[in-house]
Amino acid sequence: MTQMLGKQSIRFETPPYIEASGSVVGKKEGEGPLGDLFDMVSEDDTFGCDCWEEAESTLQKEAAALTMGKAGVKPEDVRYIFAGDLLGQTIATSFGIVNYEIPLFGLYGACSTAGESMSLGAMCVAGGYANRVLAMTSSHFASAEKQFRFPLEYGNQRPVSATWTVTGSGAFLLGTEKSHVKISGITTGKIMDYGVRDSMNMGAAMAPAACDLIVQHFEDFQTSPKDYDRIITGDLGYVGQEILLTLTKERGYDISAVHTDCGIEIFDKDTQGTDSGGSGCGCSAVTMSAFFLPQIQRGELKKVLFVPTGALLSKISFNEGQTVPGIAHGVVLEYEA
Amino acid sequence: MTQMLGKQSIRFETPPYIEASGSVVGKKEGEGPLGDLFDMVSEDDTFGCDCWEEAESTLQKEAAALTMGKAGVKPEDVRYIFAGDLLGQTIATSFGIVNYEIPLFGLYGACSTAGESMSLGAMCVAGGYANRVLAMTSSHFASAEKQFRFPLEYGNQRPVSATWTVTGSGAFLLGTEKSHVKISGITTGKIMDYGVRDSMNMGAAMAPAACDLIVQHFEDFQTSPKDYDRIITGDLGYVGQEILLTLTKERGYDISAVHTDCGIEIFDKDTQGTDSGGSGCGCSAVTMSAFFLPQIQRGELKKVLFVPTGALLSKISFNEGQTVPGIAHGVVLEYEA
């Protein structure tokens, strides 16, 4: 029996499980509504390092250590890492995981990387290529601002459509050992370019990709919004959410009753000055890890479609006048008693 | 029967085939020893574009079109693209393939990306997740110099240990349909950091990773150099080759009789001023596609270990005084009558 479903999806014959997960975040994330749920909150966003990039590497190192620790496994028990981050040449990942000496598949999917890494990790385990893999990603407010906009020291102003890059790393240990959460399927996104050119409005750039992914997911799996307890996008924020709900309605699906967004959940926009919401690879990874995953583990959420979203730009492409295309990757997480 | 082999390898129960492959290169590559073998050589390295990044995107677009054309398939017949490039946030890939509307797994493995994309593509096809996928990558001399060192206009000098980034893109269509070349197995690399800090000596930075990968491959598959007609590294160049041969000998394997390197094959160092040799994601991809793959297709080479090698640095990590760790990914290509 083929596992391929429709145009862009896979239903796993032997679904892999999420055996453990860990989250590490910065100070501001710790002060937000989910603050008490994260495994580790640092009071110092440099994490004791000399530069922001090293700080972000430390986030990944700690998230991996935490996750392996929870599952009681050692690096040599993990066959592959699927990981990436937002920085050019994904240096946060390279320097974060080098000491674990685990074979690496380096990824780049912008802020959709959490979904991409879980998708490939799940394919790998379900395909019999590994008993255990780590899927992880990170972002850091200061390294991302420096990479995509201006160094913090420049003190530039932010429009209300801007999102706030989450300082955090989330890791997921996927494996064959039964837990209460399985990855039953995935839907893989293609690049969608609606011609948005505003790097300060990522929500608008990514919403079309999220819409396309979600609608394709319904068609491939022959489902509809009512089949999910939650449809959780990565980091569309308030601006992107509004566009997504409109676009999906135009395609014949009303997801407003079940939709939420990690970028909306992670900060309190009224007190934290985070404008449209949180963003970054780390946003969806830590919010899934600390907030949603435990609800699935306890059976409070039975079936969830997790859709991390990414904006495919670089400082160079932006300065050269290119558009900001989007991509999204969907992962179905289901409770198993 | 498990497909996992040893510590870092997979032997495919149902090996996927390389159904077609295509290569597109720039002017200098066309003037080199392999010039007549490439599918397309451009007289103009801008490929008619306004900037180098767009030129590199055009390379990927053309390589994909060529490859699908050779196999007589349309974009909708290709279930996934596994692709990446050297630029920050892999923008050459994003803008190169956007119009194909094929689900994308974006990768970053520096110059090892050709091996990474073929590995994941092969896992995907062999795992029953797709009948046909594209594995591709690119690099461009001018966009890479701007990204990692200085814009060409700066006119900086190059030491003899420096490699010359290949302007080119190579694509491989992997699928279930029988051809004369199958991917029988893979060995996936981990990051190796020997403390090299010279971004003008990539060969030295990557050779330890290549050595570790090749030795691990022999151990996992219980083979030795004599079992291969060629062991082909990606872009170690002359400097890196010497280090690799020494390191592997120290580990008990003499690969000098079968070793060659795409970076050595692609340019004539005496007449082309390319110092240590070619480099870049495109180097191994186009050399495999145009030079080695046809030899396997004709049965002149029966079994080859292809080991694209990558140096994991960014301009930021280099400027912050970080080392340049390396990674390598191995793919076994075998002739089938």
- Model confidence over B44-87: pLDDT tens digits? 999 999 999 999 999 999 999 999 999 999 999 999 999 999 99
Residues linked to residue B20 through DSSP beta bridges, in sequence order = B173
In tens, the pLDDT along B292-311 reads: 999 999 999 999 999 999 99
Stated pTM of the model:
0.97
Give pLDDT, residue A1.
54
CB atoms within 10 A of CB A236: 34
DSSP for B81-119?
A: EEEEESSGGGHHHHHHHGGG---EEEB-BTBTHHHHHHH
B253 contacts B218 by C-beta, under 8 angstroms:
yes
Give the number of other Cβ atoms within 10 Å of residue A298's Cβ.
10
Q: Which token pair is A281? A: 């690879």
Which amino acid is present at A37? L
Per residue in A124-177, pLDDT tens?
A: 999 999 999 999 999 999 999 999 988 888 888 888 888 999 999 999 999 999
Taking only the tens place, the pLDDT of each residue in B175-217 is 999 999 999 999 999 999 988 888 888 889 999 999 999 999 9
Number of helices followed by number of strands (H, E) in chain A: 12, 17
Contacts of A4 in chain B (CB under 8 A): 79, 128-131
Residue A4 backbone phi and psi in degrees, to 5: -70, 135
Tell me what percent of the residues of chain B surpass a pLDDT of 90: 91
* Chain B residues lying within 8 Å of A89, measured CB to CB: 86, 88, 108, 110, 312-314, 317
Contact B121, A124 (CB under 8 A): no
Q: What is the mean pLDDT of chain A?
A: 96
CB A107 to CB B103 under 8 A?
no
Of A50, A107, A120, the CB nearest to B108: A107
Residues of B in contact with A54 (CB under 8 A): 320
Chain B residue with minimum CA distance to A185: B129
Helix (H) or strand (E) holding B148: helix B141-148
Q: Would you state the structure tokens that stand for residue B216, as one six-digit string?
A: 């691990």
Contacts of A120 in chain B (CB under 8 A): 105, 120
Closest to A88 measured CA to CA, from A39, A34, A29, A144: A144
What does residue A141 show for φ and ψ, rounded to 5 degrees? -50, -50
Q: What is the ipTM of this complex?
A: 0.97
Contacts of A317 in chain B (CB under 8 A): 53, 89, 91, 94-95
Q: Is B87 in contact with A315 (Cβ distance < 8 A)?
A: no
**What is the rounded distance in angstroms from the CA atom of residue A28 to the CA atom of residue A328?**
26
Shortest alpha-carbon distance between residue B252 and chain A (Å): 22
Q: Residue A99's closest chain B neighbor by CA?
A: B191
The confidence score (pLDDT) of residue B1 equals: 54
Q: Are A151 and A47 in contact (CB under 8 A)?
A: no
Q: Do B94 and A51 touch (CB under 8 A)?
A: no
**Residue A77 contacts residue A61 (beta carbons within 8 Å):** no
B210-225 pLDDT tens trace = 999 999 999 999 999 9
> B316 and A116 in contact by Cβ < 8 A?
no
State the nearest Cα–Cα gap between A266 and chain B, in angstroms: 25
Q: Report yes or no: A1 and A14 within 8 Å, Cβ to Cβ.
A: no
How does pLDDT run across B249-259, given as a tens digit for each residue? 999 999 999 99
What residue type is A71 in one-letter code? Answer: A
Residue B254 burial (CB count, 10 A): 13
